[in-house]
Homo-oligomer: A and B are copies of this chain.
Amino acid sequence: MSDHGSHHSHSTSPENQAPARTLDAHTERYARRTAGMTASEIRALFAVASRPEVVSLAGGMPNLAALPLESLSGEIARLIAEDGQAALQYGSAQGVGQLREQICEIMELEGISAHSDDVMVTVGSQMAMDLVTRIFVDPGDVVLAEGPTFVGALGSFTAYQADVVHVDMDDDGMQPEALRQTIDEVHRQGKRIKFLYTIPNFHNPAGVTLAVERRSEILEICASNGILVLEDNPYGLLGFDGQTYPSLRSQDPDNVVYLGSFSKTFASGLRVGWVLAPHAVRERLVLAAESATLCPPTLNQMIVSRYLSTHDWKGQIKVFREQYRERRDAMLGALEQHMPAGSDWTHPEGGFYVWFTAPEGIDTKEMLPRAVNQRVAYASGTGFYADGFGNRQMRLSFCYPTPERIREGVRRLANTVTDELDLVRTFGPTGKRPATGPQTPSPDTA
């Protein structure tokens, strides 16, 4: 990942990312910001990946099989029967007070001391990302983000016409020296940096964790350059040995906006996340939230609140962690066993993802249809960069399939990569082979 800068020329052609062309009478009416709205490569993949014969290593769906559905069912029934008129009614844009207090208790696990008045509940972390970008970013403002970074964050940033600039990472997460250089470079270009977006723990998609000794250095670089930090931490409690790290927010409360979520530790389909922000920022976020959704769903907040107070939620997280560790082990073992020389991958100690680099000459986006023919799917790397980098990379998710399916999927993927390498050795790199027909159907139609 650290040689990011040298690969910019490998960008894929933009027309591959454009939505399907439709006769559109409204073409002349759209806002300028829609130019940046393209179908994410991951979204297109969901259609393919949902076919049962395909082992999907593409999506980021948590494994909910371990949830106590019977007992949840009873708890939610009681909630509706006893408190349905509140649960089904409008609430405040900031969110249910009791839940915000419980959120503060959860954040204490990672060293955060906060008041519930500085917390706002959102419709998943995605909405928090959208609103933070909304209140800070004017078109052309720069947002710094790790390269690679979460594809949903890129969606929010480009929706507000931010100019995303990546910062290089290595196995210890973002490199402070790379951050300094990137800031200097952006400032030399006369551009304004609004914030640094970072996923310090069990990174999506890179699978690495920011070393503890780098954290204060990165905070210091941002503070001294007047750059706000947006810390996204959905996986922090999913360290496979139960380890947690001091959050950035705990070290610089005034210059960090923190995002949390129940999507990975409880239930993604409830869409309950949160943002913790300095008080004046939180006030603006509430105003922005009112115009975005009026208020988050009351029922969902009350369900999470009840779950936290009636269930052993820490024990449940431990169950999740152990499942994900077993799946991570299955994936790393299979990669070691099957992948050809020249491949490389990260070794996550938590979270959902391995970041895989294919041998020289392979273009993971071009290879995807052939992988799907072999009944395995992944998320190709370019979707995780704003600048077309990532064509040798892919994200492999171990969160959803069983260990057995993971091993089978990696075996199929290794066969695909090996076949592809043969093609590369015979005909040259796939990205540079002359096109002689529809060789790269979109994943939707493959």
Contact A93 B269 (CB under 8 A): no
Interface flags for A196-225 (1: CB within 8 Å of B; 0: not) read: 000000000000000000000000000000
- Whether A92 contacts B228 in the complex (CB less than 8 A), given A130-B292, A134-B33, A287-B37, comes out as no
Interface size on A, as a range, is: 35 or more
* Interface presence of A72 (CB below 8 A): yes
Contact A127 B292 (CB under 8 A): yes
Q: Residue on B with the closest CB to A296?
A: B271
Chain copies in complex: 2
Contact A64 B40 (CB under 8 A): no
Q: Residue on B with the closest CB to A91?
A: B269
* Interface presence of A69 (CB below 8 A): yes
Q: Which one of B30, B64, B300 lies within 8 Å of A284 (CB-CB)?
A: B30
* Interface presence of A445 (CB below 8 A): no
In angstroms, Cα B91 to Cα A141, docked, is 32
Chain A residues 49-71 with CB under 8 Å of chain B are 61-62, 64-65, 67, 69-70
One of A3-11, A101-109, A152-160, A380-388 at the interface: A152-160
Contact B268 A88 (CB under 8 A): yes
Q: Residue on B with the closest CB to A90?
A: B268
Nearest-neighbour CB distance to chain B for A41, whole angstroms, equals 12
Contact A90 B77 (CB under 8 A): no
* Interface presence of A435 (CB below 8 A): no
* Interface presence of A446 (CB below 8 A): no
In angstroms, Cα B93 to Cα A126, docked, is 12
Q: Which one of B22, B80, B300 lies within 8 Å of A69 (CB-CB)?
A: B80
Chain A residues 105-163 with CB under 8 Å of chain B are 123-124, 126-127, 130, 134-138, 141, 152, 155-156, 158-160
* Interface presence of A188 (CB below 8 A): no
* Interface presence of A439 (CB below 8 A): no
Contact B77 A89 (CB under 8 A): no
Nearest-neighbour CB distance to chain B for A38, whole angstroms, equals 7
Nearest-neighbour CB distance to chain B for A85, whole angstroms, equals 5
Contact A31 B290 (CB under 8 A): no
* Interface presence of A345 (CB below 8 A): no
Contact A89 B69 (CB under 8 A): no
Of the listed residues A33, A255, A269, A284, the one surrounded by the most CB atoms of chain B closer than 10 A to its CB is A269
Contact B72 A84 (CB under 8 A): yes
Q: Which one of B138, B270, B279, B296 lies within 8 Å of A31 (CB-CB)?
A: B138
Q: Contacts A130-B291, A158-B291 known; list 10 others, CB within 8 Å.
A: A33-B135, A70-B81, A73-B80, A74-B77, A88-B267, A89-B269, A152-B294, A269-B299, A297-B300, A300-B300
20 A-B residue pairs with CB within 8 Å = A19-B284, A22-B283, A26-B228, A29-B136, A31-B136, A34-B284, A43-B93, A43-B290, A61-B90, A64-B84, A64-B85, A73-B80, A77-B77, A90-B263, A126-B292, A127-B293, A159-B292, A269-B299, A270-B297, A271-B297
